[in-house]
Structure 1
Amino acid sequence: MLSAPLAVSLLVGALTLLLIAWSMFTNKQWDPRGQHCYVTGGSAGLGLSLAILLAKRGADVSIVARNQERLQAALEAIEKVRQTPNQVLKAYSFSLNDASSSAAAFDAACKGNGGKCPDAVFLCAGASRPGFFIEQDEASLQLGMDNGYWVQAWSTKAAAKRMALDRFPGKIVFVSSVLGYMSFVGYSSYSPAKHALRGLAETLRSELLLYGVSVHIFFPGTIYTPGYTEENKTKPKITLKIEETDEGMQPEQAAARLLRGVQKGQFHISADLLGNIFRSSTRGATPHNNVFMDGIYSFMGWIGLAFWRRGVDTSVLNHRKEHQEYLSKMGFFNAKPTEFSGSEGALYSL
């Protein structure tokens, strides 16, 4: 005969499994068909691939970026997958680096869709300038926050305000990076912005419950875009070495995984095994995606991430001599602290 504590434990376990199974099979997935989807950074990379995927699913799509020529080419690509004659597919040329321009872009997209607030806002705009921290100057560090954080935060401000005013239960989807969970050498002007996006998303997930607005945030690893190729030409050698075994994704794969996470209602969306391990190991008060699997990922991280970090640190320490030679070549030791600025790094879109 089972003891009372054991019987209670088994009952609790069985009920937990039933609840998990019930949630997996009863949650209705979000369907983008007929929804107005607003995509920033929609002229290239992840943003363009996502816009094409949403159009294939029957959504009305508004893309926003700065370059008019690339926007036009992107819109033509989106038009090729149009599903119905009355789908609204439009492109808007705006800079999103300040509050007023971001608000103007959002208002234009609303007006272009019959005054309807977007049902879902996908924030794919962003850029990075890799390099060593001592190479960065005030302008480059500020640019890192502008291109990594504010370019999404200002659009979020416009969207959240409009959704609250209209009492509209929309979705806001941030794009961070696996570097928003951790970081390493070379990303001092990029990773802080991606961590900041997580902080904003965590706050707004709670606050926007007041208006029925759901919040999601995507943490992809490497995405193979033309910008990524350009970035690697000037990225520090030690950063390239640490990343040399990285198995990245094509933009289409990343877009599919992002959309799948949104459809499932996940708050933190990971793109691969490593992302899930970092997500579960740094979860804090973030809701689980799957209680059972998140426990497995967390256990894997408890063991594996210690070895990964030790390997990264060893690579950095082994690079010290080469780095000293690089600094000498760049004139670091002959310059005043306020004068030195390295040459590594390049802007790229997500």
Structure 2
Amino acid sequence: MFELSSYNTIALLSISTLLWTFWNMWPSKKWDPRGQHCYVTGGSSGLGLAVAVELTKRGADVSIVARNKERLASALADMEKFRQGSNQVLKCYSYSLTDAEGSSAALEAASQDHGGKQPDAVFLCAGASRPGFFVEEEGDSLRKGMDDSYFVQAYSALAYTKRVVRDKARGKIVFISSLLGYMSMIGYSTYAPGKHALRGLAETLRSELYLYNCSVHIMFPGNIDSPGFVEENRVKPKITLELESTSKPVSPEVLANELIRGVQKGDFHIAPDLLANIFRSSTIGATPHHNILLDGLYATIGWIGLPFWRRDVDSAVLKHRKDHDEYLKAKGFYT
């Protein structure tokens, strides 16, 4: 009797898991950006611009925010090429988003151009990376790293949450972390901590914003073929460049499509490729699964493969020790 009951329990759990998996593969209703006001930070270039263009193609009203007015004007012209109708509202705003006041003012300006109503969705694509060795950093550069990787999105999320709660309206927050929000390696001491922090913020807000009918998503892309990537490679340590040499940067357009697709599916963590899915499933914790069967497969691959990857990374770093010592001597660090 015990043996039969055990088999019945296992069979029931297996059938339930399969039904749950197939049910979640086809959500009953996808989010449609058409006619929605979508607010995109970092919208003047790179992933932010690609997201803004893709939302424009899908019929959304799009507001983009960045600091550089010339790049904003150029980005807005690019968006106009894909306008779907004369009533579509496309706007740009020049603000610094690394402080709470600027982030709140930018959101307020975009809302006022829509009758005072806050955006239906915010895509927080602003951010920057300046790789280097931790030993060369100073207090100010550590703080700037957090400003450019964490606070530049957190402040906008805070301003948006306050409006959603005050106006008792539905909302949607989409953060952009990085593959380095799942792990990290040499060279990213001022960047990866902020991207890990974004994951922590998103995990918290996913739970808390149930109170206010506001959904939360976060994407973890690898290297992006963008002006920002070109700039960070200019100062990136030699060993970091070496470790990333086999990783081809992905176009912003491909990632923008993956991002919107993930939001439409209702994914909380949006992993745009195989490697990101392996890290996602290997570090999932209490984060909701996408597909239990696939996530189990990804986790198994990670359990087997990631220790070998880490061993190779550590070996490469150790081989670089002599070169690094010479680099520090040349920089005058020891004197």
Asked if Structure 1 and Structure 2 have the same fold, meaning a TM-score greater than 0.5 normalized by the shorter chain, the answer is yes
d(CA) in 1 for partners of 2:116 and 2:317? Answer: 53
Whether 1:4 aligns to 2:5 is yes
Equivalent residue for 2:40? 39
How much does 1:101 deviate?
A: 1.0
Moved over 6 A (4+): none
Q: CA RMSD in A?
A: 1.2
Q: What aligned pairs does 1:217-232 form with structure 2 within 5 A after superposition?
A: 217-232=218-233
Question: Which residue type is aligned with residue 148 of structure 1?
Answer: S
Identity %: 62
CA distance in 1, matches of 2:252, 2:195: 19
Tell me the equivalent position of 2:121: 120
Q: Secondary structure at the match of 2:154?
A: helix
Q: Please state whether the residue corresponding to 1:148 is helix, strand or coil.
A: helix
Aligned to 2:312: 311
TM-score for the superposition, normalised by structure 1: 0.94
2:283 match: 282
Between Structure 1 and Structure 2, how many residues are aligned?
334
Matches within 5 A, 1:297-308: 297-308=298-309
Residue 346 of structure 1 corresponds to which residue in structure 2? Answer: none
For the residues of structure 2 that align with 1:26 and 1:67, how far apart are their CA atoms?
39
Q: Does 1:109 align with 2:86?
A: no
Q: Tell me which residue corresponds to 1:208.
A: 209
Kept after mapping to 1: 8 A contact 2:130/2:235 = no
Structure 2 distance, partners of 1:315, 1:321, is: 12
Q: Which structure ranks higher in relative contact order (CA pairs < 8 Å, sequence separation ≥ 6)?
A: 1
For 1:125-153, what per-residue CA distance to the aligned partner results, in whole angstroms no more than 9, with x for missing partners?
00111000011111111100011111101
Q: Which residue of 2 aligns with 1:97?
A: 98
Hey, what does 2:56 align to over in structure 1? 55
Q: Secondary structure at the match of 2:270?
A: strand
Letter in 2 for 1:201: A
Aligned residue for 2:197? 196
**Shift of residue 27 of structure 1?**
2.7
Which residue number in structure 1 is paired with residue 327 of structure 2? 326
Q: Could you tell me which amino acid in structure 1 is paired with residue 70 of structure 2?
A: E
For residue 326 of structure 1, give the secondary structure of its aligned residue in structure 2: helix
Deviations 1:168-218 (CA, angstroms, capped at 9, x unpaired):
111001100010111000000000011111111111111111001001111
Q: Equivalents in 2 of 1:304, 1:27: separation in Å? A: 36
For residue 70 of structure 1, report the CA deviation from its aligned partner: 0.6
Mapped partners of 1:315, 1:271: distance in 2: 27
Gaps of 5+ in 1: 335-350
State the Cα deviation string for residues 79-131 of structure 1 (Å, max 9, x = none). Answer: 11000110010001111111111111001000112222111100000011100
> Which residue number corresponds to residue 85 of structure 2?
84
- Distance across 2 between alignment mates of 1:277 and 1:303: 11
Any stretches of 5+ residues in structure 2 without a counterpart?
none
Calculate the TM-score normalised by the size of structure 2: 0.98
